[in-house]
């Protein structure tokens, strides 16, 4: 089950896991986009794919749809929690509603999904929960006040969960993308351009200059890390943060 899977990192992850033979359940808001992506998923190994159209601003509806899916289709053994980040902005200007909205669509929905899927993972003695978060859990990023706050909450929830479910053969890990070529990155660049008066190209060059590898990531490069953590090869890795950021984060 791959959340936020109609674009960007979520879509790239769904494509990669399907190539490796997984049956994919796409989860996102837009049904038309979900139908388009499901047609792109590999089926050469006999995979059967499905989708759930639901808005993560309605956590109870998310749980209801997932529970109904499980009754009809059986257990899910890999969960990729991935939700678009909150809008950029200074934390001092953030409204309480901004935090509550982000908390619901990130931590609360992650938690409800895990609770729904956990029993099937326990019975199989195999489970992978992989949360796409941000390098801000290591070093907060400028002008992303709400995001920095909520991402850190998800990271600590994840570490706590990893310790609780490890005895069932279930691992819980976080992938921390750096600047990745997605619509969110474009929005961040455009917002900074509007606020500073710098050109889009100037901001892009500034951001890339902070990355030792000298470029932004492709969504598929984040997906490759997710695929490894989802595989049996990562069976002894749990409770960690994996930055995939070209070396940008200034700490170990």
With beta carbons less than 8 A apart as the criterion, state whether 157 and 131 touch: no
Question: Is residue 104 situated within a structural domain?
Answer: yes
Question: Is residue 195 situated within a structural domain?
Answer: no
Question: Is residue 201 situated within a structural domain?
Answer: no
Question: Is residue 213 situated within a structural domain?
Answer: no
Band of residue 138 on the pLDDT scale cut at 50, 70, 90: very high
Q: Residue 85 above 90 pLDDT?
A: no
Q: Is the dihedral of CA 6, 9, 12, 17 positive or negative?
A: negative
pLDDT digits (tens, 9 = 90+) for 157-189: 999 999 999 999 999 999 999 999 999 899 889
Residues contacting 26, CB < 8 A, separation 6+: 2, 5, 6, 14, 34, 37, 38, 49, 50, 51, 52
Question: Is residue 106 situated within a structural domain?
Answer: yes
**How far from chain centre, in Å, is Cα 133?**
6
Tokens matching residue 92: 């001092």
Question: Is residue 99 situated within a structural domain?
Answer: yes
pLDDT digits (tens, 9 = 90+) for 7-26: 999 999 999 999 999 999 99
Tell how strand 78-81 and strand 50-53 pair up: unpaired
Band of residue 191 on the pLDDT scale cut at 50, 70, 90: confident
Question: Is residue 249 situated within a structural domain?
Answer: no
Mean pLDDT of the chain: 97
Question: Is residue 207 situated within a structural domain?
Answer: no
Distance CA 118, CA 201 (A): 45
Question: Which pLDDT score is estimated for 47?
Answer: 98
Element (H, E) at 50: strand 50-53
3-class DSSP state for residue 244?
A: strand
**Smallest Cα–Cα separation from 85: which of 36, 137, 138, 33?**
137
Q: Residue 145 above 90 pLDDT?
A: yes
User: Pick the residue with more confidence: 186 or 109?
Assistant: 109
CATH number at residue 49: 3.40.50.720
Domain of 235 in residue numbering reads as 2-180+218-244
Question: Which pLDDT score is estimated for 184?
Answer: 86
Domain count for the chain:
1
Confidence (pTM): 0.96
Q: Residue 40 above 90 pLDDT?
A: yes
Tell how strand 2-3 and strand 25-28 pair up: parallel
């Amino acid at each position: 089950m791959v959340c936020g899977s109609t674009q960007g990192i979520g879509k790239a992850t769904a494509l990669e896991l399907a190539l490796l033979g997984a049956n994919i359940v796409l989860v996102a808001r837009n049904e038309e986009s979900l139908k388009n992506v499901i047609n792109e998923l590999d089926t050469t190994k006999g995979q059967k794919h499905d989708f759930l159209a639901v808005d993560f601003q309605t956590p109870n509806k998310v749980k209801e749809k997932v529970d109904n899916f499980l009754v009809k289709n059986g257990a899910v053994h890999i969960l990729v929690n991935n939700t678009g980040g909150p809008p950029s902005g200074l934390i001092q200007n953030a409204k309480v509603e901004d935090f509550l909205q982000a908390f619901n669509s990130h931590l609360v929905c992650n938690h409800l999904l895990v609770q729904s899927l956990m029993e099937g993972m326990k019975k199989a003695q195999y489970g992978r929960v992989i949360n796409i978060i941000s390098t801000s859990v290591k070093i907060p990023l400028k002008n992303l006040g709400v995001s920095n706050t909520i991402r850190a909450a998800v990271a600590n929830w994840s570490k706590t969960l990893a310790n609780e479910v490890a005895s069932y053969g279930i691992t819980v890990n976080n992938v921390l993308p750096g600047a990745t070529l997605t619509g969110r990155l474009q929005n961040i660049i455009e917002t900074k351009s509007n606020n500073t008066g710098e050109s889009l190209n100037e901001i892009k060059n500034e951001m890339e200059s902070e990355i030792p590898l000298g470029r932004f990531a492709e969504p598929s490069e984040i997906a490759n890390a997710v695929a490894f953590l989802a595989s049996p090869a990562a069976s002894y890795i749990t409770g960690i943060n994996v930055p995939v950021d070209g070396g940008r984060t200034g700490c170990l």
